[in-house]
Amino acid sequence: MPAHIAGPLHATPAPVWLPYPDDVNAVMPSLWSDNVAKDSDGVLTVAGHPVTDLAERFGTPTFVFDVDDFVSRAELFRQAYSAAFAPEHGLAGADVFYAGKAFLCTAVARWVHEAGLGLDTCSLGEMMIARAAGVPGASVGLHGNNKSVAELEYALDYGVGRIIVDSLDEIDRLETIAAAKGVVAPVMLRVTVGVEAHTHDFIATAHEDQKFGLSVSAGKASAAAARVVDSAHLRLDGLHSHIGSQIFDISGFQVAAARVLALRAEIMATHGVDLPEVDLGGGFGIRYTSQDTPIPVAEMASELAAVVAKECRGLGTNVPRISIEPGRAIVSPAVFTLYRVGTVKEVVTDEGVRTYVAVDGGMSDNIRTALYDADYSCTLANRNSPAAPVVVRVVGMHCESGDVIVRDEYMGGDVAPGDLLAVPGTGAYCRSLSSNYNHVTRPGVLAVTRDRVEWIVTPETYSQLFASDPGMADPTTDGKNPDPAER
C-alpha cells in the first residue's frame, strides 16, 4: 500500500475467481491470440510487432487485429464441423456461417469467405459490406426480427441463400415482395424452443418472453411453416434455433437440437415436404478471464453430430445438413484493445483502497462491461513492472460511473500515466457496438501480420463525427487534440 495512505487500510480484495499471479508481467496464453507474446523487456508484441511502435505510429485507443489467428480460427471451425458431420458418419455435412454482427468490415468478410465460411448478416448495411467484399449471395444469410422492405428487396436482388424469417408478419411482407419480383424466396424459420441458456438475461434468446423467433409451444412455428409451404413464392428450406450467447454448457445446445429436429419431423410428416437444413445457431463461449471454461471446438462439433444422428434415427427421418453461426468465438480472441493510461487514482472504500486506472477510451469502445456485466483481463503492455501486484479497476474517460472496462485485475503497483495497457478478447461487440458518447471519435481497427500493418477500419475523424451537424460544417481542432487521421 502506498506510504501516504495512513492507518490500517489495505487494498481491496480480489474476487475469489481471480488467482494471485506468479508473475504479474506474464500473459495467460489462453486469453490472447496465437501471435501475441511479451519480449524480455515486458513489451507486448503481436506477430513480432511491439505495441510501443504501434502506439507511436497509429495512436491509442486502437483495436489490434491478429489476422492469422482469425483466419486459423475460422478454418478450425470449418474443418471440425465438416469432419464431425461427414457423410461417412451417416450425416449430411455442415456449414459454418460467421456471425457478422460480432464484427464486420470488408476485409473480415473477404477473409471469412476465403476460409470457406458463409456469412450471417442482420441488416442492409451488413449485406452491403458482404457484397462489396465479393461474397456471393448464395453464401449469405439474413437475420432480423423486424426486417424492412428495403432489406428484403436487397436480399432478393443480392440472391442471398437464406432468409431467416422471424414472425408471421414477415411472411406476408416477404411473400408480397417475392411475388412482385417474380422469384421464390429461400426461407428458414427461426423457432423458439424454450431452452434457458445459462448466460446473461440480455443475451439469452430461446426462452419464451423475448422478441426473437416463432414459439414452438404456442404453435406459432407450426402455423408459420404451413403458411410458407402453401406459398407459391416462398420455399421452406429448414429451421433455425439460437439459444443465447457466451454459453459454456453443452446441454442447452443438445436439448435445443432435439426439439428442433422433432419439430422438423412433425412439419415434414404434416405437409409432405423435406426440410434439408437445420441451423443450430451460435453462442459458443470464449475465455475472457481465467474463470471461463469454453468447450473445445472439435468436442462441441462431435457432441452435436451425435445428437443429430441419434434424434433423427429415433424420429425415423433423414438427417438434415447442419449449420452453425459462431461470431464471437472466431473474432474475439483475435483482437485486443491498446490504450494509454492517463491517470491513476487510489480511492478509499469500505473494503479498503481501490486503485483506479483510467485510460483514453472506455464505454464508447467497449460497452459490454456496462451492458452485460462482462469481465475482462488486461496487462501492462510497454514494460516489465518490478512492483508487487495490486488489484486495479480499469476505467474509461466518459462521464458515467459505470464506465468500467476491467472490473478487477492484478497489475504491478507502479502503473503510471503514460503506460500502455492492453485488454484481450475485444474482437466481438466492441467496435461493432461502439458509440460517439461525449462526442469522442471511434477507434480504428489495425490488422497485423508478420509482414504488414494496416487499417481495415480507419479511425473516425472529427470531420466524420460532425458531418451530420449543420452547425459544424468546418470542424477544427485546437491543435492539442489532432484528428485521428492526422496522427
What integer pLDDT is reported at residue 3 of this predicted model? Answer: 42
105, 122, 378, 399: which one is catalytic?
A: 399
Reduced 3-state DSSP string for the chain: CCCCCCCCCCECCCCCCCCCCCCCCCCCHHHCCCCEEECCCCEEEECCEEHHHHHHHHCCCEEEEEHHHHHHHHHHHHHHHHHHCCHHHCCCCEEEEEECCCCCCHHHHHHHHHCCCEEEECCHHHHHHHHHCCCCHHHEEECCCCCCHHHHHHHHHHCCCEEEECCHHHHHHHHHHHHHHCCCEEEEEEEECCCCCCCCHHHECCCCCCCCCEECCCCHHHHHHHHHHCCCCEEEEEEECCCECCECCHHHHHHHHHHHHHHHHHHHHHHCCCCCEEECCCCECCCCCCCCCCCCHHHHHHHHHHHHHHHHHHHCCCCCEEEECCCHHHHHHHEEEEEEEEEEEEEEECCEEEEEEEECCCCCCCCHHHHHCCCCCCEECECCCCCCEEEEEEECCCCCCCCEEEEEEEEECCCCCCCEEEEECCCCCCCCCCCCHHHCCCCCEEEECCCCEEEEECCCCHHHHCCCCHHHCCCCCCCCCCCHHHC
Mean pLDDT score, 255-279: 96
Report whether CATH 3.10.620.30 matches the domain 29-65+334-466: no
- 368 known ligand binder: yes
What integer pLDDT is reported at residue 246 of this predicted model? Answer: 82
List the domain boundaries for the chain.
29-65+334-466, 68-332
- 437 known ligand binder: no
- With a cut of 70, say whether residue 320 has pLDDT above it: yes
CATH architecture observed for domain 68-332: Alpha-Beta Barrel (3.20)
d(CA 228, CA 278) in angstroms, rounded, equals 16
Burial class (CB in 10 A: 0-12, 13-18, 19+), 131: buried
Q: Which of 34-48, 56-70, 181-195, 204-218 has the lowest mean pLDDT?
A: 204-218
- 325 known ligand binder: yes
Per residue in 357-394, pLDDT tens?
Answer: 999 999 999 999 999 899 999 999 999 999 999 999 99
Measured from the Cβ of residue 227, the count of other Cβ atoms closer than 10 Å reads: 17
Per residue in 201-244, pLDDT tens?
Answer: 443 444 566 778 898 878 899 999 999 999 999 999 999 998 87
Concerning whether 122 is annotated as a catalytic residue, the answer is: no
What integer pLDDT is reported at residue 164 of this predicted model? Answer: 97
- 316 known ligand binder: no
- 372 known ligand binder: yes
Percent of the chain with pLDDT over 90: 82
- 208 known ligand binder: no
Q: Which of 243-257, 311-325, 443-457 has the lowest mean pLDDT?
A: 243-257
What integer pLDDT is reported at residue 454 of this predicted model? Answer: 98
What integer pLDDT is reported at residue 208 of this predicted model? Answer: 63
Mean pLDDT score, 433-453: 98
Per residue in 392-422, pLDDT tens?
Answer: 999 999 999 999 999 999 999 999 999 999 9
191 and 221 in contact (C-beta within 8 Å)?
yes
Measured from the Cβ of residue 145, the count of other Cβ atoms closer than 10 Å reads: 14
pTM above 0.95, yes or no: no
Average pLDDT over the chain reads 92
